[in-house]
């Protein structure tokens, strides 16, 4: 089993969206038995909460249910438990690098480094903006998850 963890700041907007999109693609590809995913936040500010209503609505509009996810903070055992740990932005990546043991740092990447078009490196934080921000974030994550799944199939599943 390959384990993938998506990480943002609050674990209520971007990373639950990424987990929902990625697991949907994994299931559609018939790989649910080979790839597992989860999401977490570098902060515990929203621990125990469901995803932001705006993120849930945008996902729902695209046919993906993220409503059963609950926010949790990244814990040190995540660096062992997961094979790939994908930060939504450079700040999240910097935070993960500061906590991750040196020999496991190769697991850390930015999600958008897998995006087919490399225009953006960071998924912008949509929390303080309007609903269009959530639609844009969904599109960026959706593209990157296509690239991620292709890379995982090539590099990890053989
Ligand atoms: P996320 O968005 O990191 O994509 O879940 C945020 C959610 C909450 C806050 C910031 C970003 N906050 O400041 O509470």
Number of domains comprising the chain: 1
Report residue 85 as tokens.
Answer: 């740990």
pLDDT at 13 over 90: yes
pTM reported for the whole predicted model: 0.98
Residue nearest to atom 14 of ligand 1 (CA): 10
Pocket residue to mutate for ligand 1, from 127, 138, 141, most atoms within 8 A of Cβ: 127
Query: How remote is the CA of residue 15 from the centroid of ligand 1, in Å?
Result: 10
Residue nearest to atom 3 of ligand 1 (CA): 9
Pocket residue to mutate for ligand 1, from 13, 16, 45, 88, most atoms within 8 A of Cβ: 13
Q: What is the pLDDT of residue 72?
A: 98
| Cα-trace Rg, the chain | 14
Contact 4, 18 (CB under 8 A): no
Residue nearest to atom 10 of ligand 1 (CA): 10
CATH code where residue 106 lies: 3.40.50.2300
Report residue 23 as tokens.
Answer: 């697991």
Q: Is 149 in the pocket of ligand 1 (CB under 6 A)?
A: no
Residues 134 and 155: their CA atoms lie apart, in Å, by: 30
Contacts of 10 (CB under 8 A, 6+ apart): 41, 43, 45, 46, 71, 127
pLDDT at 118 over 90: no
Q: Give the mean model confidence (pLDDT) for residues 36-62.
A: 98
The model's confidence at residue 128, banded by pLDDT at 50, 70 and 90, is very high
Query: How remote is the CA of residue 115 from the centroid of ligand 1, in Å?
Result: 22
Residues 78 and 27: their CA atoms lie apart, in Å, by: 23
Residues 24 and 15: their CA atoms lie apart, in Å, by: 14
The model's confidence at residue 119, banded by pLDDT at 50, 70 and 90, is confident
Could you list the residue range(s) of the whole structural domain that residue 92 is in? Answer: 2-157
Q: Give the mean model confidence (pLDDT) for residues 67-84.
A: 98
How many degrees, rounded to 5, is the angle at CA 121 between CA 28 and CA 110? 60
pLDDT at 158 over 80: no
């Amino acid at each position: 089993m390959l384990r993938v963890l998506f990480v943002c700041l609050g674990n209520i907007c971007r990373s639950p969206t990424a987990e929902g999109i990625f697991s949907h693609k994994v299931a559609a590809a018939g790989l649910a038995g080979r790839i597992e995913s989860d999401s977490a936040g570098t902060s515990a500010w929203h621990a125990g909460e469901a995803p932001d209503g705006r993120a849930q609505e945008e996902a729902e509009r695209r046919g993906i249910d993220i409503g059963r996810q609950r926010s949790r903070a990244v814990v040190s055992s995540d660096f062992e438990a997961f094979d790939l740990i994908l930060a939504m932005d450079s700040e999240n990546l910097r935070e993960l690098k500061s906590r991750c043991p040196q020999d496991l740092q190769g697991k850390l990447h930015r999600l958008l480094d897998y995006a087919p078009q490399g225009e953006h490196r960071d998924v912008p934080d949509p929390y303080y903006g309007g609903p269009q921000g959530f639609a844009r974030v969904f599109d960026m994550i959706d593209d990157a998850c296509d690239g991620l799944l292709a890379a995982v199939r090539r590099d990890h599943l053989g």
